[in-house]
Structure 1
């Protein structure tokens, strides 16, 4: 497991007020090389990202820490999506993690221990958390366009690993990945109002108005109790990360 001991590296590379990682400014030569590569390479996986969604996430091990997240979504199949998660939609946004989203059909087939790592996109009182509350939005895309996708997302489960805790000032991805969970309060009571307001101001939207427009969305008929382990136990699932050496060892005959 990667160490989180900050004493082993210069403080200037780990935290502080500067949001960008340490390193020299990009040279003109490097810019030219990158531009040339873009012209010659297909970058097919990146080009398959079909939508940008903005929502919020909470650290399962410390629920006082809430962050705005920007998901760049690739649909692999009707039942499986993969998302590169950034801390902003700016050109220099930091890649802070990855989320996988599966349909209820796939989730039900997972082993119970695996299901504990996933969060539902619905709430136990049958009101969708991110979707019906208006927390999940597709910036600058009309609601009518994304409505079918939003209705499908209400019956899905996500597994979100945060690999870069930029919200605490880390200028590099440090330590083990953190398991994230979905805000689950339709009245927005679980998400800090200032986070929602800042997002609303940036995109000139009203989350409360979006919530009202989604009130008629159909609700999932069944939520697997194995999901949202954090909600049932008041803490994140205990993650046992083996040292790299152990993972590389293979038994000999």
Structure 2
């Protein structure tokens, strides 16, 4: 199955499409990049290797919302590394241009691995079945056959997503603590204006994408995932003292379960 992923990634790279159409959603303060800094960056680019970055081989575009606040929605551009048949990792940006802001990370695992997680851990993860079948998750630039094969693999996986820069709210710098994000699970949850704007930029029709994936076989969502649907909303909270990551502490405090807004 790993050959399937590699083949899809190669097709994406060869296509050269599906990017450079969504600029960053925030403008950070700061002086323009100096000639000296540009020269240093150019030199580093020529002399240093970046194996973890070079291993990124797949681009996915979808949508997230804050766990416990379904009104807080945003588009998320995922740049994915396939670690093995059961584990992927993604860096998430607010756009797909060179100035895009790093927004967070997502870990993606197979249903087989998800089943091995402790009950409390499972509550942090969301399913991908609806995102795939609805056509709201796309792999820009991939030919239809490669897209279909890739999405058939993703449909039965689970993701744990943390956003460190809340670009829908913090328009200059990353403020506050990370937020646990969730994925949509049914029609009527995602803001249609977000979807329409995305579809226009990528020149696609999500309804046609949905129809093309009707034959993708999905398994029932495993117990524990999408805990927000059962009213179990989990977010981090600050702790007293030196903050969330104070040195010398052996315990930083549990995630706080909050009531649904």
Q: Same fold (TM over 0.5)?
A: yes
Partner of 2:127: 120
Question: Alpha-carbon deviation of 1:106?
Answer: 1.1
Q: Shift in Å at residue 68 of structure 1? A: 0.5
Aligned to 2:5: none
Aligned to 2:15: none
Between the aligned partners of 1:148 and 1:247, the Cα distance in structure 2 is: 46
What TM-score, normalized by structure 2, do the two folds share?
0.81
Report deviation, 1:110. 1.0
**In the TM superposition, what is the alpha-carbon distance from 1:163 to its structure 2 partner?**
0.6
Match of 1:47 in 2: 54
Question: 2:9 matched to which residue of 1?
Answer: none
Q: Distance in 1 between matches of 2:96 and 2:79?
A: 9
Deviations 1:47-71 (A, max 9, x none): 1000111101111121111101100
Residue 247 (structure 1) shift: 5.7
Contact 2:82 2:89 in 1 (8 A): yes
Q: In 2, Cα distance between the equivalents of 1:190 and 1:47? A: 35
Contact in 2 for aligned 1:119/1:181 (Cα 8 Å): yes
SS at the partner of 1:152?
A: helix
- Residues 237, 244 of structure 1: CA spacing in aligned structure 2 closer, same or farther, 3 A cutoff? closer
Superimposed CA distance per residue, residues 101-157 of structure 1 (whole angstroms, 9 cap, x where no aligned partner) = 0011111111111111111112xxxxxx10010011011211211222211111111
Are the equivalent residues in 2 in contact too, given 1:179–1:236 (CA < 8 A)?
no
1:7 — aligned with what?
A: none
Shift in Å at residue 245 of structure 1? Answer: 6.0
Distance across 2 between alignment mates of 1:136 and 1:47: 23
Q: Which residue of 2 aligns with 1:100?
A: 107
Residue 246 to residue 39, structure 1, CA distance change in 2 (3 Å): closer
SS in 1 for 2:114: helix
Give, in angstroms, the shift of residue 171 of structure 1: 1.2
Q: 1:107-146, aligned counterparts within 5 Å? A: 107-122=114-129, 129-146=130-147
Candidates 38, 57, 67, aligned match of 1:31: 38
Which residue number in structure 1 is paired with residue 224 of structure 2?
226
Do 1:54 and 1:137's aligned partners in 2 also have CA atoms closer than 8 Å? yes
SS in 2 for 1:131: helix
Q: How many residues align?
A: 224
Q: How does the TM-score come out when normalised to structure 1?
A: 0.84
1:60/1:180 contact within 8 Å kept: yes
What is the DSSP-based 3-state SS (H/G/I as helix, E as strand, rest coil) of the residue aligned with 2:142? coil
1:144-155 superposed matches below 5 A: 144-155=145-156
2:88 to 81, 94, 112: 81
**2:166 corresponding residue in structure 1:** 165
| Ranges of 4+ aligned residues in structure 1 off by more than 2 Å | 238-251
